[in-house]
Structure 1
Amino acid sequence: MTKPACAPAIVLDGGTGRELLRIGAPFRQPEWSALALIEAPDYVTRVHQSYVDAGADVITTNTYALVPFHIGDDRFATHGGEWAALAGSLARAVAKAAPRPVAVAGSLPPVCGSYRPDLVDIDAARPILATLVAALTPYVDHWQAETLSSLSEATLVGELTAPTGKPLWLSFTIEDGETGGEPKLRSGESVADAARLAHRIGAHAILFNCSQPEAMAAAVKTARTTTDLAIGVYANAFPPQGDEAEANSTLHDIRADLDPAGYARFARAWREAGASIVGGCCGIGPEHIAALVIDNE
């Protein structure tokens, strides 16, 4: 296998929700991956450990679905901070016990719904994200704001995380498929503008996640020509999703061509385009991450 002519990348973990479902954790809508955290946190520990065993350099707190959109307003108001702290402590314990350095990323989700820039409400999102940031701060090495579909979401995250002094990685979801033009966020805003914003607010990295593997190389190249920040990619394994789609609204089919070897080929192309951080999102499991680690050596 031909290896990329570039330095080894930081390897992230993969998806959490489907892996929880695969190993038999409590799992249903609307709670999604938050249900295991609430009812059976040992399963969350098992998922973190599986990614450490696969060779990941970074594991991500299971807080993506820990928002009112998934668990309801009342449960978040009563237990949101408590459960976020639990998620942070679980990830930190696994990282601390690892036989090599493993970092913990604090997942900060799109509060008003994934893939839905039309639903972004900054005033509503502010107190929710503030709760997650306060609870996770003692446990995380950096913030990973994930699946952002608009610049306004990223701006808010930058404002709320800056006082913690911890590095911020901004990760955007982009339009799926080979667009043939300038890559864009799901809001229609440009990847170039997202890269400029990341630089302006002091982010340490700009990433692209939860989109088709085919769409990612163009986003990496655009970011590379716009900023000198570290660039990362963690794609999903779904077929392309239309404008009406919502991430985590249902279990989408997984593409047959995105087995571990197939996914690693995409990751190699992202690295050759300039990515220095690679991992996986929905549908990408420990076996895929192990393949990335082998190809990264």
Structure 2
Amino acid sequence: MAHITLLDGGLSRELQRFGAELRQPEWSAGALLEAPEAVRQAHEAFFRAGAEIATTNSYAVVPFHLGETRFAEHGLELAALSGQLARTAVDNTSDIRPTARVAGCLPPACGSYIPERFDATSARDILSVLVRGLAPYVDLWLAETMSSLEEARVTAEAVAGTDKPLWISYSLRDDATPPADTVAQKPVLRSGEPVADAVEQAVGLGAKAVLFNCSMPEVMEAAVIETRKTLDVLGADLPIGVYANAFTARGQDGAANEVLSEVRDDITPERYPLWTDLWVKAGATLIGGCCGIGSAHIAHLHARYKA
């Protein structure tokens, strides 16, 4: 089996576990404002579970959650704080994770799952703030939950010239009732654009890895297979990653993080590796979890792939 790099999981429920309160509109950014120690503790919990990457808690540091005024006044300092806390967690657990890295989260600047509302001009302004705040603390950039090719392109352009590698993670359309044979379906982004086009884009943008996140486990295997095929055609050798969520399907209705979504009973820490095994078999080597996947899930992945 190829070497597996373990990512972390979704921060929201870990933040709650350490005493942070999640509420709208701030969502996980509220922890930076009110309970920064919970952010550090959540990162450290993932490292102790076996994760090798800490993704900064900057996903909600955008006007969509903070509001335009508060983002203008505090966005830079909150982005920097999210980087500082992740870096401190790396330092605090260096005895058990000496090669741990910090991934600077670059979220959908105009709201998750809603590619039709993406505005490139606004996104560039927002992303420039995040990049400036995070740059001193991160080892790589993670453009995550990219729902369209345009969203990914603009996000990649925001870190051009920063001399840090870029990973691009796309979010897939996951219908409320997935077809019985999901592998036979051509995987698409939430915009409807083909995964093959997204992979070709990632290669063209100079990404060092292509991943898929914040979608149901059922749609991930087909995306990994399609990615492997496309990379072979392009003659490119990029790592492929998957970190699925544990939510019931949202389909095309509504933005992410509007409410604390219901977690599926069947995606337990014990059963999540049954999904990840499929992705690893298909060629994925970067494995973790998104919303609803906690440190207990990562611990089971560590036992599975690192024992």
If the length of structure 1 is used for normalisation, what is the TM-score? 0.96
Q: What residue in structure 2 maps to residue 62 of structure 1?
A: 57
Unaligned runs of 5+ in 1: 1-5
Q: What residue in structure 2 maps to residue 86 of structure 1?
A: 81
1:183-262 to 2 correspondences below 5 Å: 183-227=187-231, 228-262=237-271
SS in 2 for 1:193: helix
Q: What residue in structure 2 maps to residue 3 of structure 1?
A: none
Shift of 1:124: 0.8
Shift of 1:64: 0.1
Shift of 1:7: 1.6
Q: What residue in structure 1 maps to residue 13 of structure 2?
A: 18
SS in 1 for 2:90: helix
Picking from 33, 40, 45, the partner of 1:45 is 40
1:151 aligns with 2:149: yes
CA contact 2:41–2:89 (8 Å) conserved in 1: no
Shift of 1:261: 1.7
Shift of 1:23: 2.9
Shift of 1:21: 2.0
Shift of 1:24: 2.2
Q: What residue in structure 1 maps to residue 161 of structure 2?
A: 163
Distance, in Å, in 1 between the alignment partners of 2:129 and 2:92 is 27
Shift of 1:93: 1.0
If the length of structure 2 is used for normalisation, what is the TM-score? 0.93
Identity %: 52
| C-alpha distance after superposition, 1:187-208 (max 9, x if no partner) | 0001000000000010000000
Distance, in Å, in 2 between the alignment partners of 1:242 and 1:191 is 17
Unaligned runs of 5+ in 2: 232-236
| C-alpha distance after superposition, 1:56-97 (max 9, x if no partner) | 000110000000000111111011111111110110111122
Q: What residue in structure 1 maps to residue 234 of structure 2?
A: none
Shift of 1:159: 1.1
Picking from 270, 278, 294, the partner of 2:279 is 270
Q: What residue in structure 2 maps to residue 77 of structure 1?
A: 72
Shift of 1:22: 3.1
Segments ≥4 residues shifted beyond 4 Å: none
Count of residues in correspondence between the two structures? 292
User: What is the RMSD computed on CA atoms of the aligned residues?
Assistant: 1.0
